[in-house]
């Protein structure tokens, strides 16, 4: 698919909707309009779920989408951690640990890419668990602002502690995997019989 027509692909339009919603979500949180912010968060979340589904159903997987979707996801989550910390809804230490992990991974990936040693870079099971807990944590933090339920407050605190634990642990695991892969010899081609 030509680069310009990739912009018009339905999944990429949904991803761009997520990016478009983000500044308004930030404004509503900063202004204390939690119900509207909650709705905008759900619009972003639903668009995230739908873009992957549409890409498969409509056979519109594009190179642009391959890069744009994870960038939009990470931008949404990182921005939410910063803004929610700014309005004192998420403790500072949680946001610092999340950002330290992401920055460390970004630096490692950049160095490996720049040196041409980038190998299999798929996230680990622990890395995926970290992402899931962060998503659940952010959703719970936002829900607590609009729904008065004591059980949610306890759930929020548990999830934030899990995020604070998983962020450095998954970063350490990621670094260990990269070092281990860098030390392993490159796979040799097995000659095929003629």
- CB of 97 closer than 8 Å to CB of 163: yes
Tell me what the mean pLDDT of segment 94-122 comes to: 79
- Helix (H), strand (E) at residue 5: helix 3-7
Mean pLDDT in the chain?
A: 83
48-107 pLDDT, tens digit per residue, is 777 777 667 777 677 766 777 788 888 899 999 999 999 999 999 999 999 998 888 888
Q: What is the pLDDT of residue 193?
A: 47
- CA distance to 50, 77, 123, per residue, from 22 (Å): 17, 10, 25
- CB of 72 closer than 8 Å to CB of 19: yes
Tell me what the mean pLDDT of segment 10-33 comes to: 89
Pick the residue with more confidence: 150 or 160?
160
Token pair, residue 23, equals 């500044």
Tell me the C-alpha distance between 175 and 108, whole Å: 8
Q: What is the pLDDT of residue 87?
A: 97
- pTM across the whole model: 0.82
Q: Judge whether residue 156 has pLDDT over 70.
A: yes
Pick the residue with more confidence: 144 or 188?
144
Tell me the C-alpha distance between 179 and 181, whole Å: 5
In the chain, what are the helix, strand and coil shares in percent, each to the nearest 5? 80, 0, 20
């Amino acid at each position: 698919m030509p680069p310009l027509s990739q912009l018009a692909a339905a999944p990429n339009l949904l991803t761009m909707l997520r990016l478009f919603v983000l500044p308004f979500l930030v404004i509503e949180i900063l202004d204390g309009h939690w119900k509207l912010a909650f709705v905008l968060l759900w619009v972003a979340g639903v668009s995230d779920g739908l873009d992957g589904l549409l890409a498969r159903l409509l056979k519109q997987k594009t190179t642009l989408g391959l890069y744009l979707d994870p960038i939009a996801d990470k931008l949404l989550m990182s921005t939410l951690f910063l803004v929610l910390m700014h309005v004192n809804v998420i403790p500072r230490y949680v946001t610092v640990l999340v950002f330290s992990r992401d920055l460390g991974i970004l630096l490692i990936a950049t160095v490996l890419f720049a040196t041409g040693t980038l190998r299999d870079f798929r996230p680990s099971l622990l890395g995926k668990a970290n992402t899931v807990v962060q998503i659940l944590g952010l959703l719970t933090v936002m829900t607590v602002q609009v729904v008065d339920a004591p059980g949610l407050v306890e759930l929020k605190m548990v999830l934030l502690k899990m995020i604070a634990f998983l962020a450095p642990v998954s970063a350490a695991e990621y670094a260990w995997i990269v070092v281990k892969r860098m030390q392993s010899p490159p796979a040799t081609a097995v000659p095929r019989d003629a």
